[in-house]
Amino acid sequence: MKMEDASLVTHAISEELASLGARIHTCARDESQLNQCLQEWKMKGFNVTGSVCNISSRADREKLMEAVSSLFYGTLNILINNVGTCVTKRTTEYTAEDFSYQISTNLESSYHLCQLAHPSTAQSLWIREHRFHFLCCWSCIL
C-alpha cells in the first residue's frame, strides 16, 4: 500500500491501538485503499470498520462523525486527527484557490473534527478515568 507520510503515521497508530484491543473506525478518500487496509487488519483479527470520506469536505466530516457516534454509541475515546495537505509552489505562485484549499484542509478540517468529536469524547468514561484531555493536532502549513 502506497501512503503519504501522514497516512503512515495514522495507519501505524491505528494498527497499534487495534493490536491492543481497541475498536477502530478509519476513513480514506480512496475506497480501494480503504478496503485493502480494512481487509489486511481484519485478517490480523482486528475489530475495524471504515468510511469513504474526504475530510476537506464539511459535509463528509459531519457524515463521518455521525457514523462514528452511531458505531460507538455516542462515546469516542481517541480521535486520531491527522489530516493535511501541502501544495508545493513558490509563494508568489499560489492562487487564492490554493490558499483556500490548504487553510480549509489543514486548519478548518482539524478544528471542525475536534468540534464534532467533543460531545462523544465528553461522554468517555475511559478519558475521565485516565485523566486524559481532549487534544487537537494541528497540521503545519508549509
Residue 79 contacts by C-beta under 8 Å, 6 or more apart in sequence? 113, 114, 117, 121, 134
pTM of the model: 0.80
Give strand pairing partners of 28: 52
11: cell is: 495507519
The residue ranges of every structural domain in the chain are 1-52, 74-142
Q: What pLDDT sits at residue 66?
A: 95
Average pLDDT (16-42) is 92
Give strand pairing partners of 26: 50
Q: What pLDDT sits at residue 135?
A: 44
Helix (H) or strand (E) segment spanning residue 48: strand 48-52
Q: Give the three-class secondary structure for 84.
A: coil
**Torsion angles phi and psi, residue 17, rounded to 5:** -65, -40
pLDDT tens per residue across span 36-69: 999 999 999 999 999 999 988 999 999 999 999 9
pLDDT tens per residue across span 91-123: 999 999 999 988 888 889 989 998 999 888 777
